[in-house]
Amino acid sequence: MDSFYRILGFGKNYSAAAWAAVLFYVVYTLFQLAGIGMIIPVMDIILNNGSQVELTQDGSNQLTGLQDYINNIVNQGVLTYGSYGILWRACLISFGLFLAKNIFRYAALWQMASLRGGITAKLRQALHHKILKISPSKLSENRKGDLLARASSDVTEIEYAVLAGLEIIVREPLVIIGSLIILFSMSFSLTIFVLLIASIAAFLLQLVSKKLKRKSNLAQSKLGMVLSALDESISGLRVIQAYQAESRQRHHFENNNNQAEKTQISVFRRRDLASPISEIIGISTLLLILLYGGAQSLAGHGMTGAALIGFALFFYQLIPSFKSISNGLYNVQKGSAAAERLFEILDKEEDIKDPNNIIKGQSLKNGIDSIEWDGVSLKYPDANSFALENFSATINRGETVAIVGPSGGGKTSLINLLIRAIDPSSGSVRLNSVPVWHQQEPSWPMHEVRSVFSLVTQDSIVFHTTVRENISLGDPNPDKNRIIEAAISSQSKSFIDDLPDGFDCVLKEGGSSLSGGQRQRIALARAIYRNSNVLLLDEATSALDTENESRIQKALDAASANRTTIIVAHRLATVQKADRILVVDQGRLIESGSHSDLILKSGLYSQLVKTQSFVD
User: Phi/psi at 153 (nearest 5 deg)?
Assistant: -65, -35
56 has a pLDDT exceeding 60:
no
- Looking at residue 54, the DSSP 8-state letter turns out to be P
Q: How confident is residue 390, by pLDDT bands cut at 50, 70 and 90?
A: very high
Yes or no: say if 545 and 462 are a contact pair by the CB < 8 Å rule.
Answer: no
72, 154: one domain: yes
Q: How many CB atoms lie within 10 A of CB 410?
A: 24
- Looking at residue 72, the DSSP 8-state letter turns out to be H
d(CA 260, CA 212): 15
Nearest residue to 39 (alpha-carbon basis) of 306, 248, 218:
306
d(CA 422, CA 406): 21
| pLDDT tens-place string over residues 393-421 | 999 999 999 999 888 888 989 998 998 88
Yes or no: say if 529 and 484 are a contact pair by the CB < 8 Å rule.
Answer: no
Yes or no: say if 353 and 133 are a contact pair by the CB < 8 Å rule.
Answer: yes
Residue 465 lies in a domain: no
Residue range of the domain that includes 443: 361-452+564-616
According to the model, what pLDDT value does residue 61 have? 44
d(CA 55, CA 64): 9
Longest dimension (CA), the chain: 122
Nearest residue to 115 (alpha-carbon basis) of 26, 1, 22:
22
Q: How confident is residue 376, by pLDDT bands cut at 50, 70 and 90?
A: very high
Domain boundary among 322, 346, 370: 346
| pLDDT tens-place string over residues 479-536 | 999 999 999 888 889 899 999 999 999 988 777 788 888 888 888 888 889 888 899 9
283, 386: one domain: no
**Cβ-count burial 448-473 (b if 16+ within 10 Å, e if not):** bbbebbbbbbbebebeeebbbbbbbb
111, 209: one domain: yes
The amino acid present at 288, given as its one-letter code, is L
93, 148: one domain: yes
- Any residues with CB less than 8 A from the CB of 368 and at least 6 apart, and which? 397, 431, 432, 452, 533, 534, 564
Mean pLDDT, the chain, integer: 79
Q: How many CB atoms lie within 10 A of CB 564?
A: 24
The amino acid present at 155, given as its one-letter code, is V
Pairing of strands 564-568, 400-404: parallel
d(CA 271, CA 333): 11
Least confident of 82-96, 215-229, 419-433, 526-540: 215-229
d(CA 242, CA 80): 91
380, 274: one domain: no
User: Phi/psi at 375 (nearest 5 deg)?
Assistant: 55, 45
Nearest residue to 322 (alpha-carbon basis) of 272, 290, 281:
281
The CATH number of residue 33's host domain is 1.20.1560.10
Mean pLDDT of 116-140: 80
According to the model, what pLDDT value does residue 394 have? 95
d(CA 399, CA 564): 5
User: Phi/psi at 409 (nearest 5 deg)?
Assistant: -80, -15
According to the model, what pLDDT value does residue 457 have? 84
Using alpha carbons only, how large is the chain's radius of gyration in Å? 37
Q: How confident is residue 35, by pLDDT bands cut at 50, 70 and 90?
A: confident
d(CA 426, CA 417): 12
167, 135: one domain: yes
Domain boundary among 346, 374, 406: 346
Residue 274 lies in a domain: yes
283, 390: one domain: no
Exposure on the CB side of residue 155, measured as CA atoms within 13 A: 23
Domain boundary among 295, 322, 346: 346
Yes or no: say if 204 and 210 are a contact pair by the CB < 8 Å rule.
Answer: no
Beta bridge partner(s), residue 532: none
The verdict on pTM exceeding 0.75 is no
Residue 463 lies in a domain: no
According to the model, what pLDDT value does residue 206 have? 63
58 has a pLDDT exceeding 50:
no
Beta bridge partner(s), residue 401: 566, 580
DSSP letter string over 251-314? HHHHHHHHHHHHHHHHHHHHHHHHHHHHHHHHHHHHHHHHHHHHHHHHTT-SS-HHHHHHHHHH
Residue 499 lies in a domain: no
Residue 398 lies in a domain: yes
Nearest residue to 306 (alpha-carbon basis) of 57, 41, 55, 86:
41
Yes or no: say if 204 and 277 are a contact pair by the CB < 8 Å rule.
Answer: yes
169, 280: one domain: yes
545 has a pLDDT exceeding 60:
no
Residue 305 lies in a domain: yes
According to the model, what pLDDT value does residue 57 have? 45
112 has a pLDDT exceeding 70:
yes
According to the model, what pLDDT value does residue 67 have? 58
According to the model, what pLDDT value does residue 62 have? 44
Residue 154 lies in a domain: yes
Mean pLDDT of 61-89: 66
Yes or no: say if 537 and 556 are a contact pair by the CB < 8 Å rule.
Answer: yes
**Domains: count for the chain:** 2
- Using CA atoms, how far residue 261 sits from 256, 502, 563, in Å, is 9, 48, 56
Residue 106 lies in a domain: yes
Mean pLDDT of 547-553: 65
Q: Which of 145-149, 229-233, 247-251 has the highest mean pLDDT?
A: 247-251
339, 367: one domain: no
Could you give the angle at which helices 516-530 and 480-489 cross, rounded to 10 degrees?
A: 130
The amino acid present at 481, given as its one-letter code, is N
335, 368: one domain: no
546 has a pLDDT exceeding 90:
no
According to the model, what pLDDT value does residue 55 have? 47
The CATH number of residue 602's host domain is 3.40.50.300
Q: Which of 27-36, 131-140, 545-554 has the highest mean pLDDT?
A: 27-36
335, 366: one domain: no
76, 169: one domain: yes
